[in-house]
Amino acid sequence: MPTDRIEPDEPAHLRDAEGASPPIDRYLPAVDLVGLVRRHWIPVWELPEGTVSVQRVLQYPVCLLVIDADQALLVGPTTGLGTRELRGRGWTVGTMLQPAAGWLLSGRPVTELTDGAMSLAEVAGRDGERLAEHVRRLVAPAPRDEQAQRAATAAIEEHLRRLLPVDEEGELVNRIVEFTETRPDVRRVGQVSAEFAVSERTLQRLTARRLGLGPKWLIQRRRLHEAAALLRSRATSFDLAAVAADLGYADQAHFIRDFASVTGMTPGRFADELRHDGPGDGAPKEE
């Protein structure tokens, strides 16, 4: 079973307009699955009657496995802001896959999943249905129980082991995404193609097939994740011009347009929400 918990720090998760989020337990995958799985996350929430919490996430360039009491899905990458309405009480067992895994699991170009989803039964037939049923039996009686959570993530990992070993192209796309996500100095597609000695056209085709997204999107999304982290760290006092400069934007206006076009709010409004960030019970589509 996975043994490593991840600290609850996720810049991609923007929370709801009141700054509320449910308790979310996060776990690293087993060592042999690091080429297929980034992490597991398990939110559990209980909201007062009549309360709706709209959770917002700047998703990563990956597919997600999402199982809850009502559905089991392979969710494709979201080009904009991922949102989900939470009501009443509930739980989700989610697995954030690595970039290589979407094509391996679905058997199709990930462009066909972008901004969409497939049922796990459609992806894996009766085996997918059995996995969803097993996870529900484990988690539903006590969603916050750590042993139940670990058993559920272990069951998902066992299902995914059939995809090993990761193919050569999958390993390449994992490296490409890691490069763009961890190198703040990468601001142009040409830098990515030069690093991996492929043409920009080849890079475009590869990322479309395996990620359902283009390399320009990868760079923009990394910058927005950095922006969210910077704004969160400076929520009580910040200078938008300084944040824009830190992120490599030519000017403050360009940064504000980028942030607002994806999140639906200005950086200033996002920072205002952080100021009254409080405990809450709210959110699953991850991150």
For the chain, strand residue ranges (E) read: 24-27, 37-46, 53-57, 64-68, 72-75, 82-86, 89-97, 117-119
286 to 5, 92, 160: CA distances (angstroms): 16, 10, 19
Query: Are the beta carbons of 163 and 104 closer than 8 angstroms?
Result: yes
pLDDT of residue 275: 61
- What phi and psi, each to the nearest 5 degrees, are found at residue 129? -65, -45
What is the pTM (predicted TM-score) of this model? 0.88
Q: Which residues contact 128 (CB under 8 A, 6 or more apart)?
A: 72, 119, 120, 121, 122
Q: Quickly count: other Cβ atoms within 10 Å of residue 5's Cβ.
A: 13
Q: Which residues of 216-245 are buried (b: 16+ CB within 10 A; e: fewer)?
A: ebbbbbbbbbbbbebbbebbeebebeebbe
Nearest to 119 by CA among 128, 127, 110, 131: 128
| Structural domains of the chain ordered from first start | 24-163 (2.60.120), 168-275 (1.10.10.60)
pLDDT of residue 61: 94
3-state DSSP assignment of residue 44: strand
In the chain, the largest separation of any two C-alpha atoms, in whole Å, equals: 56
pLDDT of residue 4: 82
Question: How far is residue 21's CA from residue 280's CA, in Å, rounded to a whole number?
Answer: 5
For 98-211, strand residue ranges (E) read: 117-119
Instruction: Going residue by residue through the chain, which has 287 residues, state the pLDDT in tens, using 9 for 90 and above.
Output: 445 877 655 666 666 666 567 788 999 999 999 999 999 999 999 988 888 888 888 889 999 999 999 999 999 999 988 888 888 899 999 999 999 999 999 999 999 999 999 999 999 999 999 999 999 999 999 999 999 999 999 999 999 999 999 999 999 999 999 999 999 999 999 999 999 999 999 999 999 999 999 999 999 999 988 888 888 776 556 678 888 888 888 888 999 998 888 888 888 887 777 665 544 433 344 44
pLDDT of residue 31: 95
pLDDT of residue 8: 57
pLDDT of residue 164: 97
pLDDT of residue 92: 96
Over the Cα atoms of the chain, what is R_g? 19
Nearest to 180 by CA among 68, 7, 60, 38: 60
